[in-house]
Structure 1
Amino acid sequence: MTDPGLILGLAFRILVAMLLGAAIGLERQWRLRTAGIRTTALVSVGASLFVVMGAVGLGQDPGADPTRVAAQVVSGIGFLGAGVILRDGFDIRGLTTAATLWCAAAIGSLAGAGMEIMALIGCVAIIATNTLLRPLGRFVNGRQRHGASPQQADDEEAATDYMLEVVTSDKSEPRIRAMVLQAVDRPEYTLRSLDIRPGKSSQTKVLAGVSAQHAGSTAGLEVAVQRIGLDPKVTSSRWWPAESDD
């Protein structure tokens, strides 16, 4: 394969797969989920490369079936998706993230097959599903809890997720991060995620996602915000209930 036009065309397909995969992962990383921008971008690019290999590379062999490569991508991504699914007591976490990875592979396959417009439409549909349908899911869950018995409602709200955010300077980030980890190291909390994000004017955000064993267990977070907020290098500190979906 030495045709420059063909090479540029295939490179464009791979670039589209990478950009669309990164766009899908942006929503996941913003919500501090397991698979972020790089993971979904790599899944999309990998699927695109496999499809290109099957369509262009193996397609020149009369006895080869390029469609089998795409089919193996669909089944093979299941092993990667299974790695982000976690069992937490009676709850299952990571299903939405695993489904998003599966969809990212589909976007990469479309881009690799030269269907860039369909890949773009699919990317928009995936992002819309993960964002616009979220309020509908919360509404349905709220209606279910409202119609359930008090004991059932207590069981459904047994685990509640919270986010703790601290804004500090770049130089003080390691020390403040250690303070945040120490603050959430309590029997009633389980640390789910820890993310460091750059802010404005040489500031850094330290975001910790924690799960409480019981709804309303926020006393520890209140104490953490008060103590960490006393540090002169801390610009602001706060906590809020986080969404407990995947």
Structure 2
Amino acid sequence: MRFMMTFHIADFFDTLVSLTTAFVFGALIGAERQFRLRTAGLRTNVLVAVGAAAFVDLAMAITDADGAVRVISYVVSGIGFLGAGVIMKEGMNVRGLNTAATLWGSAAVGCCAGADMIAQAGALTVFVLAGNTLLRPLVNAINRIPLDERSAEATYQVVLTANAAALGDLRDALTESLDKAHYPVAEIEVVARADNVVEIVATLVANTVRAGELDAVTGDLERLPGVRHVTWDASTSND
């Protein structure tokens, strides 16, 4: 049997280390995405990392470093197609770019693990997690900076994440709260997420808002029954 000729306990143990490393680090990245109810969550990021590690490890075993480099280039291209599947265009806005970039990072972690670069895989995992967590307050702070209306136009959205059972009442409560704050809603959309969770996305009519006022509205909404999280952001388009 060819299996007896190709099987070596040391090589098999090396493969297990690579795949286990990719699994653990991919799970860390995916857990953060799962917690935030993103399209590509825990299982997707784990499978991307483990798959990338398996391909690179296989190339290292049957060829050499040059062969692994070629496989890595194909992994990068393949993840590009996978990432495109989680990007959605909703009107003038594009959602899912951060999730697609995270999948790219998970693939890179897997490639490092498959190439037996365990420390590098761990360091890359830390940077990916930091980009998705530690930079979030900075992004929110930047979004709250008053915009120069002469150079940019902003579209403001309030996103309420809630249990699907409370959808009707919370959609009305969101609209009423924004109207009372003198921020009428131009469009409201419901996006279904996993595990009976929905996102209610309200696009505002106003071109500019006061950050403190929207913070107060989102704070009041977060205290309603069935609400998991409320946030707001601004997307701009320069002339």
**Structure 2 length as normaliser, TM-score?**
0.74
Matches within 5 A, 1:1-246: 1-59=6-64, 65-143=67-145, 146-149=146-149, 155-157=154-156, 159-165=157-163, 177=164, 179-181=165-167, 183=169, 188-196=187-195, 207-214=197-204, 236-238=225-227, 240-242=229-231
In structure 1, how many angstroms separate the alpha carbons of the residues matched to 2:232 and 2:105? 22
Aligned 8 A contact 2:189 2:201 in 1: yes
In structure 2, how many angstroms separate the alpha carbons of the residues matched to 1:14 and 1:24? 15
1:170 is aligned to none
Structure 1 position 58, deviation (Å): 3.3
* Letter aligned with residue 180 of structure 1: A
SS at match of 1:163: strand
Deviates more, 1:35-44 or 1:51-60: 51-60
Structure 1 position 129, deviation (Å): 0.9
1:233 is aligned to none
Stretches of structure 1 that go unaligned for 5 or more consecutive residues are 166-176, 197-205, 226-235
Stretches of structure 2 that go unaligned for 5 or more consecutive residues are 1-5, 173-185, 206-213, 235-239
SS at match of 1:192: strand
Aligned 8 A contact 1:184 1:191 in 2: no
* Letter aligned with residue 81 of structure 1: G
Structure 1 position 114, deviation (Å): 0.3
1:113-170 deviation line (CA, Å, top 9, x unaligned): 0011110111011101110011111111211xx13239966x421x3211224xxxxx
Kindly report the root-mean-square deviation, in angstroms, between the aligned alpha carbons of the 2 structures: 2.9
**Structure 1 length as normaliser, TM-score?**
0.72
* Letter aligned with residue 193 of structure 1: A
Aligned 8 A contact 2:160 2:227 in 1: no
Identical counterparts, % of pairs: 34
Aligned 8 A contact 1:32 1:193 in 2: no
In structure 2, how many angstroms separate the alpha carbons of the residues matched to 1:88 and 1:244? 15
* Letter aligned with residue 79 of structure 2: I
In structure 1, how many angstroms separate the alpha carbons of the residues matched to 2:115 and 2:232? 36
* Letter aligned with residue 237 of structure 1: G
In structure 2, how many angstroms separate the alpha carbons of the residues matched to 1:241 and 1:68? 44
Structure 1 position 185, deviation (Å): 7.6
Aligned 8 A contact 1:18 1:41 in 2: yes
1:43-77 deviation line (CA, Å, top 9, x unaligned): 001100110111102349xxx83321111111111
